[in-house]
Structure 1
Amino acid sequence: MTTSDTAVAATRSRAGWVLLSITRIALGFYFLWPFLDKLIGLGYSVCRQEDNSIEVMCDRAWLSGGHVTEGYLGSATGPLADFYADLGTQRWTDWVFMIGLLGIGLALMLGIGTKIAAWAAPAMLLMMYTSHLWPTTNPFLDDHIIMALAIPAIVLVELEHQSIGLGRWWRRVVGDRRWLI
């Protein structure tokens, strides 16, 4: 078997395509969960009380009027700390952040709009990375960078062979507008 035969056989691996789809969905949940937590206060980054109890819909939840980016951006470190801390004082950042989390999360989980999510996710992740320079476990590389590389790679490879999700149906809906896939 030649190298090209091996490569062709590898691309036909059903298990591989399914694992790529599962990974895409898991990465989507990585974005959707903080959206839900910040939206109604599920106690992970919002609404956990000092006694470790959770008060859903506390004052810090977005639906209760909480300013969800203020704490994270206010704790920025590194050379861009002042820039991000200033952004954290502005309420419009809540809208951009929350819409980004929801849009990226749903796109990756459902398998629709994945091309847009493949580029929006790394942009958001790189901003998160630069807001808290330098990482504590490695001076150059952390999970934000790894995901910023993995998401477009997974989406672009899996795009035409999506095993799980609404991608095939969505491609028919968007037709020639391939950038919406």
Structure 2
Amino acid sequence: MTPDTPARTVLALTRIALGWIFLWTFLDKAFGLGFSTPSERAWINGGSPTAGYLSGVDGPFGGLFQSLSGAAWADWLFMIGQLGLGLALILGIGLRVAALTGVPLLLLLWASSLPQENNPFMDEHLIYALLLVGLALGGAGDHLSLSGLWRRTPIVRRAPILA
């Protein structure tokens, strides 16, 4: 076990902060907490988490993303992704799986925002994707987390990729 260092603490806090971004997106869209999603458009009130954003996508992939707008399977995948990423990052468990699933989600979100408004190609989605990979590869789940308990579960012992 490596002793705690300021760098490990900063990485753990960064992991938790990134997790909160994903978890907050899930909570706001699911329950319409009034930040980006009003209560009448909440998922629990019959709203679609993907319809509002994807229906207005322009750019080179606009037609593709508009065709996904409001599809139940897209809503479910998006919401499961947001919840799963948020919990994995906050709890510090399953970071490899989070990176493997989160990077494609973030790349799709990046592609849906092309062309970028303030930069030719770079935006927060690409930064988050790189950060997600770095956190998973850098062992950021080993500090301020439940990873020790998680690694001892039977499912993780049988499938170590889940650690």
TM-score, L = length of structure 2: 0.92
CA contact (8 A) 1:21 1:158 kept: no
2:91 and 2:56 map into 1 onto residues whose CA distance is: 33
Shift of 1:28: 0.5
2:128 and 2:40 map into 1 onto residues whose CA distance is: 31
Q: Percent of pairs identical after alignment?
A: 43
1:22 aligns to 2:13 (yes or no): yes
Q: Unpaired segments of 5 or more residues in structure 1?
A: 1-10, 48-57
Q: What secondary structure does 2:138 align onto? A: helix
Q: Which is greater in Rg?
A: 1
* Structure 1 residue aligned with 2:134: 153
* Structure 1 residue aligned with 2:100: 119
**Off by >6 Å, runs of 4+ in structure 1:** none
* Structure 2 residue aligned with 1:177: 159
* Structure 1 residue aligned with 2:148: 168
1:73 aligns to 2:64 (yes or no): no
2:35 and 2:107 map into 1 onto residues whose CA distance is: 22
Please list the CA deviations of residues 32-84 of structure 1 after superposition, one character each: whole Å capped at 9, or x if unmatched. 0010001110111111xxxxxxxxxx331000111120011111121110000
1:38 aligns to 2:29 (yes or no): yes
Shift of 1:166: 0.4
Please list the CA deviations of residues 127-160 of structure 1 after superposition, one character each: whole Å capped at 9, or x if unmatched. 001011011111111111111111111121125x
1:125 and 1:16 map into 2 onto residues whose CA distance is: 26
Q: Unpaired segments of 5 or more residues in structure 2?
A: none
Alignment RMSD (CA, Å): 1.6
AA at the equivalent of 2:100: W
How many pairs are equivalent?
160
Q: What secondary structure does 2:143 align onto? A: coil
TM-score, L = length of structure 1: 0.83
AA at the equivalent of 1:109: I
* Structure 2 residue aligned with 1:98: 79
Q: What secondary structure does 1:136 align onto? A: coil
CA contact (8 A) 1:60 1:67 kept: yes
